[in-house]
Amino acid sequence: MSDHPFPECPPEAFAKQDMGDDLDFYAPPRLVTHIDEGAVAALTHLYRKLLPAGGSLLDLMSSCVSHLPDDQGYVEVVGHGMNAVELEANPRLTRWFVQNLNQKSLLPLGDQAFDAAMACVGVQYLQQPLAVFTEVRRVLAPGAPFIISFSNRCFPTKAVAIWQALDTGGQAALVKLYLERAGFVNISANLLADGAAGDPLVAVIGLTPQP
């Protein structure tokens, strides 16, 4: 039996067209949202329901905006991303760090330090998703949610091959597989926006297991 974390996938599944340094690609700041207003509103509504007010949050693969409810306060929001200018411009982040997760998956964060984590429209770029998701599980408290959202947009030269080969349902199933292999439980896929009047948006959610 293969010791590859995803033996169901072909060897080239996590290859990408542009194998150049990701930090070079993301060096020019993009101070924009990557989904439209309807999708943002749907995601913010979900965050309002699932993210604990007054909690500590990890915003993985973040940018200049986190889509958090304006009227909800959190003790801290730690942001990770690929561009310092974008992260510095995000008013919701209390601190942040730049790291290429495709080169180094280990997060510089303590065990069980966060009450929830989210990753908005970034999962399609991960070449070591199991390693990253396992790290997210490590830094989350027991019973904490990890919310991964995605749309139909991407930088095609940087998205992994398997992501681009799948339709929306297949992409949701792939993210569910990532969560399952990393040890998350109570995994669900949720259609937040169907795309009929704008950008589609899917959120896949898993919880860290309770002791």
- CATH value at residue 136: 3.40.50.150
pLDDT value for 38: 86
Per-residue buried b or exposed e for 129-157, using 16+ beta carbons within 10 Å of the residue's own CB: bbbbbbbbbbbbbeebbbbbbbbeebeee
Domain housing 163: 22-207
Whether the model clears a pTM of 0.85, i.e. scores above it, the answer is yes
Number of domains, the chain: 1
Residue 45 lies in a domain: yes
pLDDT recorded at residue 17: 72
Give how far the C-alpha of residue 167 lies from the chain's centroid of Cα atoms, to the nearest Å: 18
Instruction: Let me know if residue 9 belongs to a domain.
Output: no
Q: Do residues 50 and 205 touch, judged by C-beta distance below 8 A? A: yes
Per-residue pLDDT of the chain (211 residues; tens, 9 = 90+): 344 678 777 778 888 876 767 666 666 666 456 678 888 999 999 999 999 999 999 999 999 999 999 999 999 999 999 999 999 999 999 999 999 999 999 999 999 999 999 999 999 999 999 999 999 999 999 999 999 999 887 666 778 989 989 999 999 999 999 999 999 999 999 999 987 888 899 999 999 999 8
84: in domain:
yes
Q: What are phi and psi of 133, to 5 degrees?
A: -65, -35
Q: What is the pLDDT of residue 211?
A: 85
In a domain, 174, yes or no: yes
Let me know: does 185 contact 135? Beta carbons within 8 Å.
no
